[in-house]
Structure 1
Amino acid sequence: MTNTLWIVGAIVVVCFIELIVSREVYDHLEHNLRRSHNRGVLHQQEQHQHTHHQYNNVNHNGNHHHNNGFRQTYCGRQVKFYEKHHTKHPFGDHHQGGLRGETVPVKHKRHYAGQHQRSNSSSFVGHHPAAPWAPGANGDTLLMMQDDEGTAGGATVPKPSKHGVVPVWPVKREAVVEGDLILGGLMMVHSREDSVTCGPIMPQGGIQALETMLYTLDKINEQGLVPNVTIGAHILDDCDKDTYGLEMAVDFIKGSISNIDDINDYDNCSKGHKKKIISGVVGAASSVTSIQVANLLRLFKIPQVSFFSTSPELSNKQRFEYFSRTIPSDHYQVKAIVDIVQKLGWSYISIIYEESNYGIKAFEELDDLLSKHSICIAVKEKLVKDSGVAETSAYDNIVLKLLTKPRAKGVIIFGSDQEVAEVMKAVRRQNVTGVFSWIGSDGWSARNLVSDGNEAEVEGTLSVQPQANPVIGFEDYFLNLTVNNNKRNPWFVEFWENNFLCKYPQSPYTPYNKDYTRTCSTTEKLSKGDLDFEDQLQFVSDAVMAFGYALRNMHQELCGGRPGLCDAMNPTKGSELLKYLRKADFIGLSGDRFNFDLNGDGPARYNIIHFKQVAPERYKWIKVGEYYQGELRLQMHDIQFRTKDSMPPESVCSRPCERGQAKKYVEGEGCCWHCFNCTQYQIRSPNDETHCVNCPRGTLPDVYHEECQQIPESYLRPESFLAIGAMSFSSFGILITFFVIGVFLKHNDTPIVRASGRELSYVLLSGILLCFGVTYTLVIKPHDIVCGVQRFWSGFSFTVVYAALLTKTNRIARIFNASTKSAKRPSFISPHSQLVICGILVSFQILINAVWMIVSPAHAMHYYPTREDNLLVCNSYTDASYMIAFFYPIFLIVICTVYAVLTRKTPEAFNESKYIGFTMYTTCVIWLAFIPLYFGTANNVQLRIFTMSMTISLSATVTLVCLFSPKLYIILIRPERNIRQSMMPIRYSTINKTTGSAQSSVMAAVIVTAATCNENEKVIKGNSNENIPAAY
């Protein structure tokens, strides 16, 4: 009944494993169950017959191994397996027979281990290799059992002899340290290989990592970290393969499911035997293996702490609840790599990444982060995880693909040492050594496997490596190890042979020691000069220490500090241990403080190391920087990318365009472009570097066509030559005008002043003064108010002048027209009437200006007649609208001119009309010249304003000179003529009664009135022959 229950339980567990792990594990466990039954039968036969009997389908992998791996215990007897072949073999001829026992053929196919193998994956049942040197005559492999005692270094397999006995490879071994609590260990003692499941021994990340775990356990137990409790170990080799590592990890759960493999052994051999329960697992090294193992251990709630697995995926505690690690996540490593790329000034790089969870997740983060920093990926290529699976041509093709983008000199490689080593070999085969500069991940950082023999190819590499310090005392411990004093490490013999290149006496043959011709003397001594120590062993030690402190804290709380194990910790519960594990905080054997972050990861601290030539033919990895708390510190002066080149190589697709140039991108390339110049008045768009944009009017590009700069404002400044000329002329005119006004005021009652019509003369002089004053408003910096004053003043001043002239000429014309038609005196010829008429004429201009201001308010504006001009002007000057101010004055000029023509034949005594006519003719000439000048200077507003100013001043000057200079001449030079008689010639001062007519009488009265311009003066007709004014 008990056996039945155990079998049912085992089948249930297998079903669970099938859901979580690969199909290979399921098939292998099923095979082990069948084999266990057969083994039980064999044990019964041994008890009754005491001889070896034939049995089928023997698979030594699932057997219970005790410390020396291949030695098998069956009911207290030591039994060994080895292979015997019937065919001729390089080591000797095979024949039937062997060491104590009968050989039984086991069907051997080259793909035996791969019967359940998926494509693109390594062999799962790694210890049933299809070794090319092992098959039998008919494709059969012969397994033999032998009673024997082991030799140094763990399990032994008979050495090849003339009888043809050869070992099975790989031999499943385990390093066992007895203790009250057991920690599992999963190390990559061997590397991957194509022809066999496990490759050669790995001295750094394998043997040294394993010995670091053992050394740390020794220290924990020596210190009595857990009172009266020793911590032991059960360490296996995963050969750096995920499927094989998962198969090995099955041993860790056997204690939790009561030893599936030994069901019959438990009943038939030793009723008291019980397999130790694994409290926690240290490992694995690679991320892909850790993911597989974490899925399995999670089912049985066994905490796992990895020391080299860096994949960001493992930070997901929803999936990997029981997984922790002492090394930081690649999430931070990716950030450090991107910072290095930026520091080197690279914007166009290639990426080679391992086709595993480690590489793929890192690439995804790299791709995202690089794009955020505008760094383009030229080539992205995958590396097959198992270097043996990929042909040499696959690595050659990767290098050839890199060469298709020759501008991408920088290459990031995210992979493991074995794959990267093959890439470097391909670089050498393609004769492109020195073409590329590498940035490496921690997976191959400072690994001799990569650099040995590939020094020239690896030279100049910058690599990111989690920051670690040496484990204190470990080097001395390791250097003092020998095969004789290190029996607990079953792989140490292989390490010894690999290190000294000799065959250790009585050691089993392997695919890697069979060619050694020298026999080890067993007195060899490890020396520091012959060894390269792994730089990251601190993480292995911290992983073991984390378990140690977690168990100590757990023991203090659950056992109350009492020595030894209490029932609460016998066995330990994984879920409880995990809580204490995540809270562990301690000073490790390296002297650094350690604690897990919220994701169960180690602190993010990295060293930046560099592979350089330190002497001829001598290369070395040196530290050139660090990455801590998100900040990169890189000592560029210590970096030497080539022997004679200290500057980083250029890794850009296109060099930056010159200042002011825009880009035209190459189709499909985000970092490749052609540069083109923007045109004269364009700059490169600040928002889109692929376009040029025109500078707005009033601005011009700077020298580099990067920004539009404001053109300095230009206007008719008072200090300019044109303004000074215009103001000088106007000032002179103003002085003359004031002089005339002063003379008229002084001689206000003289006949010449009275005869010229004093009121209109003063109005006319005021208008002339306003015309000269317009110039000053035109040379002031334009402003909204100034523009309004200019618009009003220029038209108004002209209107005042020509309204007064029109009123005067109209009065004269009406007087003489009336004298020819009737004796009646014309109306509205008095001075008051003349002022009213003049005011009405001026009011029309005021009305026009008012409407104009409402419809189109005057304001200052920038005017751009050309692309290089920025003129500050009043809006009326930019088009013909300013002519509105002069339309009405010009109309008055035309009317005045007409009246001047009509009054040109007035009597000599009224020759002022002649001067008015001359004034109007000259004014017309001036304005006829002004109009084409005004419109012809549209692009030169300053000249246009100067022209207008001079036109107005000239018109005022003509009026002043033509109308007032004759009067000033009489007043100042010929004062004797400033009398009434001079104004009234003799022929008009007496009227013959007998010869006079009515017309003559009216004319005489009008003449007097015209001469005096005073409606209060009357003609008194006496008996005399003179007309005497009542007032003079």
Structure 2
Amino acid sequence: MGTYIPAEVCTSYVQPGDIYLGGLFSLHGGADGEYSKEDCEGLYPVSALQLTEAMAFAVMTINQDDSVLPNVTLGFIIYDDCSWPEYATWGSLSLVLGAQPSLEGDFCNIPGPTIGGDTKHVIGIVGTGETYTTEVAINTAQLFQRPLVSYGATDQELHGEHGHPYFFGTIPSDSYKASAIVNILLYFEWEYIAMIFSDDHEIHHLEEDIVNLLEVFGICLYAEAELSEDPTEDELQQMVTMLQTHPHAKLVVVLVSSASAFSAVMSSVQGAYPPLERTWLSSNTWEKELIGNAEALGGLFIQFRKPEIMEFEEYFRSLLKGNQTNNINPWFDEFCGGSDICNEASQEGFSKELPTLAPTIDAVLALAYALDDTILALSCNSSITDCLLRDKNIQRSILENLRTVEFLGTRGEFFFEHDFVPAQVIVKNLQRSNEGNLELVEVGTWSSTKPYWEQLEINSSLLQWAGGTGDVPISVCRDECNPGYIEVIDSTKRCCWKCQACRVDDIVVGTECVSCEQNEWPNINFTMCEKLIGRTVTWHDPAVVFISFMTSLGLLLSIVTSCGMIRYRNHALIKASSRELSAVNIFGLILAFVSVFPLLLPPSVSICGVAQSLYALSFTLMYAPLFLKVNRIYRIFESSSKTVKRPKFTGPTAQLVIVAVLVSIQPILMFITALSIPGTWSTVRELFPSPSSNIHRRTVEVVCNLGFGFVVSMGYNFLLLLACCFFAYKARKVPGNFNEARFYVASVYTTLLFILAALPMYFTGGTAIIVVTSVSLVLLVNGYVTLGCVYISKIYAIIFKKVGEQDGNTMMQNRERPSSIFQSREGRSFGFSGEDNKVHPSGS
């Protein structure tokens, strides 16, 4: 059976040995670098030849090492797959069948005659360098239970879990590149990105891996542009338009497999107007091409670590010098004969520029060490070759040993991790040197063997972004929110965020607005709630000035009144109003005026306790004697209609004892409530005035809180007040010329009216000044009305009207009769002559 196969495919590079390894490499391709099934004449760069010699070098190294495969000579058979899947199938089939294809005219026959008359079965295949050719080669290898170790295929779909248990890769999977790229995006907080990728099989899978990871980590890929391997002007223009349309995507991920495609992208961006200022993150590094693209300045470029293998470089250069007389590479003269191209491509350090060189050597070593472990476990009485051919389970043993193989490879400790080698990724930054030249500087690493949070290591001090600054570029689609704003999803733009204002009394916690407590307010940055500083009344407030003035005046009048009452204490008018009870009442008035001042001071535990105690006690001192006075007047005139005897308990001593009992009840109530409810006399009340508008800061004002104890005490005072009202009403018809009760009525009713008016002001007042004013005015009005109606009027009558000048025992001196006669309600007459058996309103 025969078919048309190019001569390059039928050509083999063979090194005889006891056991063989197969190799599939791409040395030729279509003309002008294009893939062509019919044409395999295009010659690849010298690096393709170097890879075949890397396999030969690795086999030679093993054969020279007695610690690996002792007494066994390892050989190899290498075919050219021309970067075409069908030719890769032919090559892999030839290797597993142990027969060399032979070219007869225009046809290549498989199987052809065996090499040296013996069938050469390979125990494993090294190759291929591309995913799409590896996918077909692995099918043949798997059919014959031969492991295939690729030095260039990076597609994660080749993994054993996806149906290729005989596949191994000595170059890290592209999934590691995807993880490294996303890890870099997270490290620099790039959340809104664009992507450019080429129409290539491996690149497509890499792009899918990245997209899946972006969704997991919440990074928005807003726009993508797909380019062919050789981008057209239309494709490049559409790409530029895409980038211009999305200005927030400052970070652009570039996934292209060739340096020419990357250069085309940079050239089109360079000519864009308006200029595109972007940061580039590429999955590959092309040092020679990058140092000529200033548009990529500040970009990040990743690559798998490529070691420099000096032993191989010396080996290859020795071939060029003709020192290797046994060189039987059939493609050597085609690549290196008659030109200096191989010498130019083999300058010192060329090994670290070839990403698949180290993986090729490691692939050979992995198969050799796995075979060595298999032979050590094999019981064989004949030759190793015969035993390997007779043992039906030998290939499965090689496969299992290959999966667990460990040795020191070209890149350090070698082992397989999910059938791929672990990844060591280098992160480089394109910078401008001090001399003004562009250069790639290593700024970080990424390792798949470390825990996730330690995989990426970046030396930020080495970074240099576009423009030569050290500021990390921002690639997010969100507004820069001011303090007091949170970010919310913009319903008009996908993956974008806008700022939304919190309420004026909210702080920002993460992405939420959190309200402060009523007595708190956000700080200037809206990051935490701060306790509001309470404000109280101040002495320069007009209302406080007025209250202070009126209180001082009232206190002065009370003192003057006291002096007048003492001066005229033997006067009939004074004696008739019960001097002892008047003294207690005036003391209560003085205490009432004094108790206003603590209300005007900044509230504290002690001040509030003193203010409330004095307030409640002053009312008791005022209304206990007033109650006895009006009750005494009523009882005297009420009993006069029935008897001329003085009613019981109307004398000075009895009245003082009763008032002492009534007043002492108040301190007892204070003491009981203070013990039962701690703080009821000494707490501070917070007021929160409504701001003039919702943009103004909330304020808190503090006043003394009138607690339960104060309410109980004032409740007792209110009972005294009601009793005064009741007896004042009952005594309303006392004879007009000696009706002191009507003054008490005026005083009591006025005080009651102001108390009822002040209560709503106290409980609804929003500011300290309103509360303090309402409470203080009750005392002031009560004091002034009592002074004016009860005492000042008497002093005025005594001093200016000369009432009672002729006889202190007569009530009216303008009468000509020897005694004052008043008509009772029944029309009866009774007088006040000072005799003990007569009813007299005086307590003296």
* Residue deviations 1:500-522 (CA, integer Å, cap 9, x gap): xxxx5xxxxxxxxxxxxxxx369
Asked whether the equivalents of residues 555 and 561 of structure 1 are also in contact (C-alpha less than 8 Å), the reply is no
Give 2:255's aligned residue: 414
Give 2:689's aligned residue: 865
Change (3 A) 1:481 1:624: farther
Identify which of 930, 939, 958 aligns with 2:766.
939
Give 2:509's aligned residue: 686
Identify which of 481, 500, 503 aligns with 1:657.
481
Q: How do 1:445-464 and structure 2 match up within 5 A?
A: 445-446=285-286, 455=293, 460-464=298-302
Letter in 1 for 2:524: V
Asked whether the equivalents of residues 820 and 832 of structure 2 are also in contact (C-alpha less than 8 Å), the reply is no
Distance 1:817 1:523 in 2: 142
Distance 2:491 2:86 in 1: 43
Aligned sequence identity (%): 24
Structure 1 position 542 matched with structure 2 position 384 = no
Give 5+ residue unaligned stretches, structure 1: 1-34, 36-57, 62-126, 128-154, 156-169, 497-503, 505-519, 972-976, 1014-1031
Asked whether the equivalents of residues 228 and 564 of structure 1 are also in contact (C-alpha less than 8 Å), the reply is no
Identify which of 209, 213, 237 aligns with 2:51.
209
Secondary structure in 1 matching 2:397: helix
Secondary structure in 2 matching 1:421: helix
Decide which structure has the larger Cα Rg and report it. 1
Asked whether the equivalents of residues 242 and 289 of structure 1 are also in contact (C-alpha less than 8 Å), the reply is yes
Shift of 1:290: 3.8
Asked whether the equivalents of residues 470 and 535 of structure 1 are also in contact (C-alpha less than 8 Å), the reply is no
Letter in 2 for 1:554: T
Distance 1:304 1:990 in 2: 148
Give 2:824's aligned residue: none
Change (3 A) 1:748 1:600: farther
> 282-291 vs 780-789, which deviates more?
780-789
Secondary structure in 2 matching 1:308: coil
Letter in 2 for 1:219: T
Change (3 A) 1:183 1:612: farther
Structure 1 position 805 matched with structure 2 position 629 = no
Asked whether the equivalents of residues 427 and 444 of structure 2 are also in contact (C-alpha less than 8 Å), the reply is yes
Distance 2:302 2:388 in 1: 44
Shift of 1:371: 4.5
Distance 1:999 1:642 in 2: 118
Distance 2:395 2:70 in 1: 20
Give 1:137's aligned residue: none
Identify which of 50, 71, 79 aligns with 1:236.
79
Shift of 1:477: 1.7
Distance 1:252 1:576 in 2: 19
Change (3 A) 1:930 1:700: same
Shift of 1:844: 13
Shift of 1:226: 0.9
Distance 1:982 1:838 in 2: 29
Change (3 A) 1:768 1:288: farther
Shift of 1:608: 1.4
Q: When the two structures are superposed, what TM-score results if normalisation uses the length of structure 1? A: 0.62
Distance 1:402 1:59 in 2: 50
Give 2:694's aligned residue: none
Shift of 1:563: 8.7
* Residue deviations 1:190-238 (CA, integer Å, cap 9, x gap): 4675462458444376333332222111111112321111222222334
Structure 1 position 182 matched with structure 2 position 182 = no
Shift of 1:660: 3.2
Task: Please provide the CA RMSD for this pair.
Answer: 5.9
Give 1:554's aligned residue: 374
Asked whether the equivalents of residues 186 and 283 of structure 1 are also in contact (C-alpha less than 8 Å), the reply is yes
Distance 1:205 1:803 in 2: 117
Shift of 1:670: 4.4
Structure 1 position 378 matched with structure 2 position 222 = yes
Asked whether the equivalents of residues 181 and 229 of structure 1 are also in contact (C-alpha less than 8 Å), the reply is yes
Structure 1 position 349 matched with structure 2 position 187 = no
Letter in 1 for 2:362: D
Structure 1 position 905 matched with structure 2 position 726 = no
Structure 1 position 815 matched with structure 2 position 636 = yes
* Residue deviations 1:818-837 (CA, integer Å, cap 9, x gap): 54x55555756635589779
Identify which of 594, 597, 609 aligns with 2:414.
594
Distance 1:955 1:992 in 2: 33
Asked whether the equivalents of residues 804 and 838 of structure 1 are also in contact (C-alpha less than 8 Å), the reply is no
* Residue deviations 1:621-679 (CA, integer Å, cap 9, x gap): 44333224334333456555668677665544445333334456544644434546667
Identify which of 135, 138, 144 aligns with 1:300.
144
Give 5+ residue unaligned stretches, structure 2: 692-697, 799-803, 822-826
Secondary structure in 2 matching 1:812: helix
Distance 2:340 2:539 in 1: 109
Structure 1 position 337 matched with structure 2 position 181 = yes
Letter in 2 for 1:174: S
| Number of residue pairs the alignment of both structures matches | 795
Distance 1:687 1:620 in 2: 41
Distance 2:342 2:665 in 1: 127
Structure 1 position 468 matched with structure 2 position 306 = yes
Shift of 1:319: 3.3
Q: When the two structures are superposed, what TM-score results if normalisation uses the length of structure 2? A: 0.74
Distance 2:510 2:439 in 1: 47
Q: How do 1:394-543 and structure 2 match up within 5 A?
A: 394=235, 397-417=238-258, 421-422=260-261, 424-425=263-264, 427-428=266-267, 432=271, 435=276, 436-441=278-283, 444-446=284-286, 455=293, 460-482=298-320, 487-496=327-336, 520=338, 525-526=343-344, 528-529=346-347, 532-533=350-351, 534-536=353-355, 537-543=357-363
Change (3 A) 1:876 1:617: closer
> 223-232 vs 529-538, which deviates more?
529-538
* Residue deviations 1:686-717 (CA, integer Å, cap 9, x gap): 3547xx77766444443344555442233459
Asked whether the equivalents of residues 700 and 710 of structure 1 are also in contact (C-alpha less than 8 Å), the reply is yes
Asked whether the equivalents of residues 755 and 1012 of structure 1 are also in contact (C-alpha less than 8 Å), the reply is yes
> 954-963 vs 349-358, which deviates more?
954-963
Letter in 2 for 1:352: I
Structure 1 position 253 matched with structure 2 position 72 = no
> 889-898 vs 659-668, which deviates more?
889-898
Shift of 1:475: 1.4
> 420-429 vs 954-963, which deviates more?
954-963
Secondary structure in 2 matching 1:955: helix
